[in-house]
Amino acid sequence: MKKTKSTSSISASIKETPRHLVYLDQAAACPVRPEVLTAMLPYFGERFGNPSAVYDLGSRVKGDLDAARAQVAGLINAGAEEIIFTSSGAEANNLAVKGGALARTHKGRHVIVSAIEHHSVLNSARFLERFLDFEATFLAVDGHGLVDPERLQRALRPETVLVSIMHGNNEIGTVQDLAPLAAMCRERGILFHTDAVATVGSIPVDVKELGVDLLSLSGPPLGAAKGTGALYFSGKLRLVPQIHGGIQEDGRRGGTENVPGIVGLGRAAALAREEVPGRAPELKRLADRLKAGVLAEVPQATFTGHPEKRLPGHASFCLEGLEGEALLFLLAREGIYASTGSSCASKALKTSPVLVAIGVPPALAQGSIVFTLGPETREADIDYVLTKLPPAVERLRSFSPVWRLRMAGGQG
């Protein structure tokens, strides 16, 4: 086939694209693993049956869903009957917070969530408060993003029915010590939920050790397809469905199951169970290298989150005198991809509520940048970032009159 002029132009422009690509935004999106894609493909074709059907085409697929459920359960040390498949971590959070609270209105109408939760938890609590006559307490955290057990204890009431505190924060990297918080709630008969989207697949997670009643996870961080997630619920815990329909998921979530996605999630969970324990130390080493380099090479860079209790492949900073979004554009031109925070909030161009909650001044919070590493990240990638980031920061600061005043000794 003869190339047209336009085709040649496109080819030329592609060749001009930087070949060195460093993808450090794993918290926003990950590629589907080849093994997962291979597992999914038959369910778009010959294994197309509906798992609710009573004949063999359906029952065979139902068996495959059961196998995937057991694989997801095995990743977090749960029972297969304790897993509900959802379309995302956000849906799992909605089902946990709203479904768990609404099932316990006979006891009370008070819920507690931490101030640094994902929007799907925060907005679920606000929905309960605004429309369903609940009261929500948004629990403050310390400068590292940790919840003080004594503060939680003071916030608990006789009418408290649910507490939701995330396991790991994908914006600042902090990992909570959940076991004592969950135990405090269990002693009072209060449901304890955790959003573990950032931790499941990143560090070993055991629901028995954590002592939680409900735990949300998402498929993409495991290398599964977008549109997949799951909710762990302890034992025979009652939940009010948020998607009404048929008897799928034992009546807890209506709608025909996303069979290819669920099978892929099961395969991804099985792989993660084998690989995560050995992967975390190397990710931590690389993130520590990135942290040390940024703090050494970029003036007025502030590291955010807890220095030790954090996700192993996470490094987050606030850089004074610039806008994080502008920095992302400059880095992308060099083939480096990062984030300014939660992918569900970054386009709003508002000050991050997580950074506000840990006491970062709004002006400094505008310069946030988050690097999340993955299994394909190498030391050469980190070194490449450290050669490109400082000049990009310097260039943006050269446009800032506030920064020039600061450097000149004036008042910003």
Which amino acids are annotated catalytic?
A: 344
User: Shortest CA distance to 36 belongs to which of 189, 326, 262?
Assistant: 262
Cβ neighbors of 372 (< 8 A, separation 6 or more) are 24, 25, 26, 27, 28, 170, 311, 313, 314, 339
Q: What confidence category does residue 4 fall into, taking pLDDT thresholds of 50, 70 and 90?
A: very low
Neighbours of 115 (CB within 10 A): 17
Q: Of 203-207, 374-378, 401-405, where does mean pLDDT reach its minimum?
A: 401-405
* Interval 73-93: pLDDT, tens: 999 999 999 999 999 999 999
State how far the Cα of 245 lies from the Cα of 262, in Å rounded to an integer. Answer: 19
C-alpha separations of 212 from 110, 170, 203, 300, 348 in Å: 18, 20, 17, 39, 32
Q: What confidence category does residue 300 fall into, taking pLDDT thresholds of 50, 70 and 90?
A: very high
- pLDDT above 90 coverage of the chain, percent: 86
pLDDT at position 406 is: 78
Cβ neighbors of 145 (< 8 A, separation 6 or more) are 116, 169, 172, 174, 305, 306, 354, 357, 358
How would you class 71 by CB atoms within 10 Å of its CB: exposed for 0-12, middle for 13-18, buried for 19 or more?
buried
Residue 178, amino acid = L
pLDDT at position 347 is: 52
Average pLDDT over residues 192-205: 98
Average pLDDT over residues 102-122: 98
- Cα Rg of the chain (Å, integer): 23
Q: Of 95-104, 310-319, 338-347, where does mean pLDDT reach its minimum?
A: 338-347
C-alpha separations of 348 from 9, 91, 108, 325, 352 in Å: 35, 21, 35, 11, 10
Mean pLDDT taken over the chain:
92
**What are the DSSP calls for 371-387, one per residue?**
EE--TT--HHHHHHHHH
| CB-CB contact of 170 with 146 (8 Å) | no
Average pLDDT over residues 205-217: 98
Asked if residue 199 has pLDDT above 80, the reply is yes
Asked if residue 260 has pLDDT above 80, the reply is yes
Distance of CA 405 to the CA centre of its chain: 38
* Interval 43-53: pLDDT, tens: 999 999 999 98
Asked if residue 19 has pLDDT above 70, the reply is no
**What are the DSSP calls for 132-162, one per residue?**
SS-EEEEE---TTSPPPHHHHHHH--TTEEE
* Interval 166-180: pLDDT, tens: 999 999 999 999 999
Classified as helix, coil or strand, 113 is: strand
Average pLDDT over residues 332-340: 97
| CB-CB contact of 26 with 338 (8 Å) | no
State how far the Cα of 56 lies from the Cα of 262, in Å rounded to an integer. Answer: 19
Asked if residue 225 has pLDDT above 60, the reply is yes
More confident site: 174 or 246 = 174
State how far the Cα of 246 lies from the Cα of 255, in Å rounded to an integer. Answer: 6
pLDDT at position 146 is: 98
Which domains, ranges and CATH numbers included, belong to the chain? 5-32+277-407 (3.90.1150.10), 34-272 (3.40.640.10)
Asked if residue 63 has pLDDT above 60, the reply is yes
Cβ neighbors of 380 (< 8 A, separation 6 or more) are none
State how far the Cα of 63 lies from the Cα of 51, in Å rounded to an integer. Answer: 8
pLDDT at position 56 is: 86
pLDDT at position 152 is: 98
The dihedral sign for the CA sequence 247, 253, 259, 265:
negative
Asked if residue 381 has pLDDT above 90, the reply is yes
